Amino acid sequence: MGIDLRLPVGTLFALLGLLLTVYGAATRGQPGTEPTGVPINLIWGVVLVAFGLWMLLLARRARRAPSSTP
Amino acid sequence: MTLHWVDYAIMLLYFAFVLGIGAMLRRYVHTSEDFFLSGRSIPAWVTGLAFISANLGAQEVIGMGASGAKYGIATSHFYWVGAIPAMVFVGLFMMPFYYGSRARSVPEYLKLRFDEKTRAVNAISFAVMTVFSSGISLYAMGKLLNLLLGWSFDASILVAGGIVLGYIFLGGLTSAIYNEVLQFFLIVFGFAPLVFLGLRDVGGWTGLSARLAEHATATGFAAGAYTRSWAFMGNASANPVGVEWFGLVMGLGFVLSFGYWCTDFLVVQRAMAANSMTAARRTPLIAALPKMCFPFLVILPGMLALVVSASSGVRPRPPLEGAPAVSATAAAAPAAPAPGDPAPASLPPARGIVPPKIDARTGQPVLDARGRVVLDYDLATPMMLVHFFPAGLLGLGLTALLASFMSGMAGNVTAFNTVWTYDLYQSYVRPGAADSHYLAMGRFATVFGVAISIAAAYVAASFNNIMDFLQLVFAFVNAPLFATFALGMFWPRATGHGAFTGLLSGTLAAAVHHGISLPAGAHVGVKGGYLGVLTTYPSELAQTFWTAIAAWVTCFVVTIVVSSFTQPRPAEALRGLVYGLTPKPTDDVKQWYERPGTLAVIVLTLTLALNLIFF
């Protein structure tokens, strides 16, 4: 119906990931940011960006090759 | 504790998207069918994710974490014995009747199959239950945010309720479903790092098992009692759940899970919105694939909370307003505990990072009937978030928590507005009006559904026992339902009078069984025993499972007996409603692996494997 859901999902996660990545990189090494020694903001930010872009890619592909269902 | 700007930015971004989706979908809503059933136009992967997300409310995220801390990996039975087989069953065998009959709701199916009074009982009890459930969930959210972040209770529930109202009012069921998918991904990505960091901290699954083995032996169980799901199910006193395999498989696996996943309109509505019969049947099967992995996402944090050391995270001592610091002197030398004793008083009041439960009136830790400190297991998962997540990720984790509250509430509200408008308003108040009238009523019902939820949250805040009591009544009403549906769909001879009497006597049987039994250590009252304690169960769950079995068996037998003495409907009136009188649905799929039957085999094989791995 109407919108391809992968567009808003992809955009939201790409933006969230970007925010986390930038924040994680800027605060790298500060006390209280790396539980159990992992720069988790940075790592997880990159994971979210990757997921968001993958969703956007799927949406783009679906738009280029319209499926048989209306 | 206070949040950083980045945490607020993440939350606001999420809120903006949620409302934005509602606003974008507004122009696609023209008829009441668009609003209540998404015009039956949604692809299976979307309805599938919404199917589990509508159920992925606070009860699941917070409650399964709590159960993980309380019972260990055996909590996975809720998934690997409970939900998954039931989801396969509803997809393969029941969806053809729900979707194929063109009923617009589950109560409406009951009217088509049985009669008006059976529909009325189901519609009224369901409508009341949904608004109160979402009220209870709102209350839990307000309380949690107040405790964790010091946010105002009023503001928290008004904002959350307002946002849910906003996006459903605009886009109806489609908006709820789209947002549920968004919420699903958010919950997965918000909680996955928690499990990663927690496991890393305790040394992986091996480290977790070793630490839980210590905990198990200290509480009088065998070493593997918290990390093996089946090995100790032979005897109710040998496992922390306090139930043996038969009560578990029958009570939880059969009666409760099939009753919920196969008859609850809240989840079935998602499948009804699918764009074809095959898509509707695939909806619960697609949902089952991620669902079977959820124990790792929602149960593990609770288990971890029990054993991580209080000084390992980013905030070594999370300050909890209202909770007194645990004094070192309380950790007296543990005496030899009796088998089956989950938490002897001699153990320190807090375990891992799970704090003791505090009585709101006295400010003292709550004690059970045996004088032992009760842990506040509901805080297990939230404490893990606060303990391990730095600013940034904490925003994501809290947003995921908020998303779970909202998706649960939205599920309730969309199911409520549909049942209210179609099954109550259109049937009894104002039949025969124009479709635009019912569309307007649906929007209006959304507003007062949310308003009643908020009112219910305040009721819960002032009379805690009333909510316990209501949840109990809901359990009584729900327990016999699956017997009615199973007989209705697979036995043409079942009659309306039979179904109606069966439902009522099943509910009565549940109330009576609960009234004559009591879980060990509980006080007589809302926990049972109000008709005289004739039997005691090792745990509350065991009592719940056996109450459900009593209700189901009673409903099943009474329906059959009464049906035998009453006039059945002619076979042609039951076409499309009963198995054997309905042509088998054909699969319109391109690939063999998209067939519902194939998917079901894959799902069941994987579930069996998970049961064996954690046996």
Question: In this predicted model, what pLDDT tens digit does every residue of B417-451 receive, in sequence order?
Answer: 999 999 999 988 988 888 889 999 989 999 989 99
Mean pLDDT of B170-176: 87
SS3 (DSSP) at B251: helix
Identify the residue with better confidence: B327 or B104. B104
Q: Tell me the C-alpha distance between B321 and B406, whole Å.
A: 25
Q: Is the pLDDT score of A70 beyond 80?
A: no
B561 touches chain A (CB under 8 A): no
A66 touches chain B (CB under 8 A): no
Q: What is the pLDDT of residue A55?
A: 93
Instruction: Name the closest residue on chain B to residue A3, using Cα atoms.
Output: B25
Q: Tell me the C-alpha distance between B135 and B128, whole Å.
A: 11
A26 touches chain B (CB under 8 A): no
Q: Tokens at residue B113, please?
A: 């199959």
B58 touches chain A (CB under 8 A): no
B45 touches chain A (CB under 8 A): no
Contact call for A40 and B393, based on CB within 8 A = yes
3-state SS record for B541-570: HHHHHHHHHHHHHHHHHHHHHHHHHCCCCC
**What's the mean pLDDT when you consider all of chain B?**
85
- Tell me the nearest-neighbour CA distance from B21 into chain A, angstroms: 8
Contact call for B193 and A40, based on CB within 8 A = yes
Residue A52's nearest CA partner among B287, B51, B182 is B182
Q: Tell me the C-alpha distance between B264 and B221, whole Å.
A: 37
Q: Tell me the C-alpha distance between B381 and A43, whole Å.
A: 22
Q: What is the pLDDT of residue A30?
A: 82
Residue with tokens 């067939």: B595
Calculate what percentage of chain B has a pLDDT beyond 90. 31
Query: pLDDT tens across B46-64, in order?
Result: 899 988 888 887 778 888 8
Q: Tell me the C-alpha distance between B443 and B29, whole Å.
A: 11
B279 touches chain A (CB under 8 A): no
Contact call for B27 and A5, based on CB within 8 A = no
DSSP state of B530: T
Contact call for A41 and B390, based on CB within 8 A = yes
B24 touches chain A (CB under 8 A): yes
CB B423 within 8 A of CB A66: no
Nearest to A36 among B9, B200, B391 (CB): B200
Segment of B84-93, B333-342, B519-528, B533-542 carrying the highest mean pLDDT:
B84-93
Please list, in sequence order, all residues whose beta carbon lies within 8 angstroms of the beta carbon of residue B12, skipping any fewer than 6 positions away. Answer: none
A53 touches chain B (CB under 8 A): no
Residue A42's nearest CA partner among A64, A63, A12, A22 is A22
Chain B residues touching residue A24 (CB < 8 angstroms): 392
Contact call for B20 and A48, based on CB within 8 A = no
Contact call for A8 and B178, based on CB within 8 A = yes
Instruction: Name the closest residue on chain A to residue B273, using Cα atoms.
Output: A1
Which amino acid would we find at residue B79? Y
CB B265 within 8 A of CB B413: no
**Other residues' Cβ atoms within 10 Å of the Cβ of residue A20:** 26
Rg of chain A taking only CA atoms, in angstroms:
16
CA–centroid distance for B514 within its chain: 21
Segment of A27-31, B211-215, B216-220, B546-550 carrying the highest mean pLDDT:
B546-550
Mutate to test the interface with A, among B1, B312, B314, B407 (most CBs of A within 10 A): B314
Q: E strand or H helix at B535, and its extent?
A: strand B535-537
Q: Is the pLDDT score of B108 beyond 60?
A: yes
Q: Is the pLDDT score of B452 beyond 70?
A: yes
Confidence of residue B85 (pLDDT cuts 50, 70, 90): very high
CA–centroid distance for B354 within its chain: 22
**Other residues' Cβ atoms within 10 Å of the Cβ of residue A3:** 14
Residue with tokens 């968004």: B182
Residue B314's nearest CA partner among A16, A40, A43, A48 is A40
Cα end-to-end span (Å), chain A: 9
Q: Tell me the C-alpha distance between B133 and B467, whole Å.
A: 9
- Tell me the nearest-neighbour CA distance from B41 into chain A, angstroms: 6
Nearest to A32 among B39, B178, B314 (CB): B314
Kindly tell me the burial class for residue B551, based on how many C-beta atoms sit within 10 Å of its own C-beta (0-12, 13-18, 19 or more): buried
Q: Tell me the C-alpha distance between A41 and A46, whole Å.
A: 9
B389 touches chain A (CB under 8 A): yes
- Tell me the nearest-neighbour CA distance from B31 into chain A, angstroms: 14
> Which residues numbered 308-327 in B keep a CB inside 8 Å of some CB on A?
312-315
CB B280 within 8 A of CB B99: yes
Contact call for B388 and A35, based on CB within 8 A = yes
- Tell me the nearest-neighbour CA distance from A45 into chain B, angstroms: 9
Q: What is the pLDDT of residue B317?
A: 54
Query: pLDDT tens across A37-51, in order?
Result: 888 999 999 999 999
Q: Tell me the C-alpha distance between B25 and B80, whole Å.
A: 36
Q: What angle do CA B387, B389, B394 make, to 5 degrees?
A: 120
CB A21 within 8 A of CB B42: no
Please list, in sequence order, all residues whose beta carbon lies within 8 angstroms of the beta carbon of residue B36, skipping any fewer than 6 positions away. Answer: B104, B172, B173, B414, B417, B418, B421, B422, B442
Q: Is the pLDDT score of B339 beyond 60?
A: no
Residue B188's nearest CA partner among B399, B412, B17, B406 is B399
Mean pLDDT of B222-237: 82
Confidence of residue B144 (pLDDT cuts 50, 70, 90): confident
Query: pLDDT tens across B355-379, in order?
Result: 888 777 777 788 777 777 788 888 8
**Domains in chain B, ordered, with CATH?**
1-324+343-462 (1.20.1730.10), 468-584 (no CATH)
* pTM for the whole structure: 0.88
Residue B161's nearest CA partner among B132, B184, B187, B138 is B138
Identify the residue with better confidence: A1 or B201. B201
Q: Is the pLDDT score of B337 beyond 60?
A: no
- Tell me the nearest-neighbour CA distance from A65 into chain B, angstroms: 17
Segment of B217-231, B236-250, B407-421 carrying the highest mean pLDDT:
B407-421
Q: Tokens at residue B89, please?
A: 């069953």
B430 touches chain A (CB under 8 A): no
Mean pLDDT of B240-257: 85
Confidence of residue B143 (pLDDT cuts 50, 70, 90): confident
Chain A residues touching residue B14 (CB < 8 angstroms): 12, 16
Q: Tell me the C-alpha distance between B38 and B468, whole Å.
A: 34
Instruction: Name the closest residue on chain A to residue B308, using Cα atoms.
Output: A36
Query: pLDDT tens across B566-590, in order?
Result: 998 888 888 888 887 777 777 777 7
Listing DSSP states for B394-441 in one string gives HHHHHHHHHHHHHHHHHHHHHHHHHIIIIIIIIIII-TT--HHHHHHH
Q: Tell me the C-alpha distance between B74 and B247, whole Å.
A: 14
Chain A residues touching residue B388 (CB < 8 angstroms): 35-36
DSSP state of B354: B
A1 touches chain B (CB under 8 A): yes
Residue B134's nearest CA partner among B478, B408, B471 is B408
Confidence of residue B343 (pLDDT cuts 50, 70, 90): very low
Contact call for B197 and A35, based on CB within 8 A = yes
Please list, in sequence order, all residues whose beta carbon lies within 8 angstroms of the beta carbon of residue A51, skipping any fewer than 6 positions away. Answer: A13, A17, B185, B189
Q: E strand or H helix at B81, and its extent?
A: none
